[in-house]
Amino acid sequence: MTLLPDALDEARRIVAAASDAGLTLRLLGGLAVLFHSPSATHRALVRSYPDLDFALPDKRGDRVEKLLGDLGYEPNKTFNLLNGDSRLLFYDTANERQVDVFVGGFQMCHRIPITERIVLEPLTLPLAELLLTKLQVVQMNEKDVRDLCALLLDHPFGEGDVETFNLPLIAKWCADDWGLSKTVSLSAQKVRDYCETHDLEPDQKHIIIERLTALGAALDGAPKSLKWKTRAKIGERMQWYELPEEVKRG
């Protein structure tokens, strides 16, 4: 079966095929940002998209393996055998792309609760979850920062989910997990620093920084759980994040 050269078109094909097979797959990562954010094509934010990242809310990884095999993808058999209960990898050799499937949830540097609301959007994760999957990255690279800038330029914080970051929900999740809250705050500062040193227009920098300020205020003001308060007493004396394995073809 021919794999489509346009990555977004191919992502739509995969999600539709999964739906036809009775599976729920939703796009995340840079392509999901590109789908939602026209600013991703700005000269200071444009980047390549060598990967397709999907989330599967349940543990039916064996069915996803069959689906992607039928669609023309080559599995990373060793990785999938060892990690298939949480993550699967596949390759599109013709277009030099990697497909990453998070099985049963999302766990990288931090766990993001993506399963309950995953059907709110037809193609991607909801914006709140998409934002957090980017903000939770500890060793953030420039592609991650560019994605965050694009998201923040094009979407406000609010109380809903239609092209809006659900701020009460984000604040609630961070108020229950000190480690996530800590990393989100550090990531926000990295985005601020990027805005100050790269070729964005002054009004664009203002929008991003204003929205990051709103996020910070919401995180500070949210009532903290007992778990958050207990972990906060330990602080940075204990590592608060995981460093996920990165696997690339060849």
66-113 pLDDT tens trace:
999 999 999 999 999 999 999 999 999 999 999 999 999 999 999 999
In a domain, 48, yes or no: yes
* pTM higher than 0.85: yes
Residue 1 counted as domain residue: no
Smallest Cα–Cα separation from 206: which of 167, 165, 149?
149
Residues 6+ apart with CB under 8 A from 21: 63, 67
The answer to whether residue 249 sits within a structural domain is no
Q: For 171-191, how does the pLDDT look when each residue is reduced to its tens digit (9 = 90+)?
A: 999 999 999 999 999 999 999
Q: Classify residue 36: in a domain, yes or no.
A: yes
Assess if residue 143 is contained within a domain: yes
Asked whether residue 69 is assigned to any structural domain, the reply reads yes
The pLDDT score that the predictor gives to residue 246 is: 73
Q: Domains in the chain: how many in total?
A: 1
Q: Are 90 and 75 in contact (CB under 8 A)?
A: yes
**Domain containing residue 203:** 7-237
Residue 2 in any domain: the answer is no
The answer to whether the beta carbons of residues 71 and 17 sit under 8 Å apart is: yes
pLDDT in tens, 21-35: 999 999 999 999 999
Q: For residue 244, is it within any domain?
A: no
- Residue 177's nearest CA partner among 103, 107, 85, 102 is 107
| Interatomic CA distance for residues 222 and 216, integer angstroms | 10
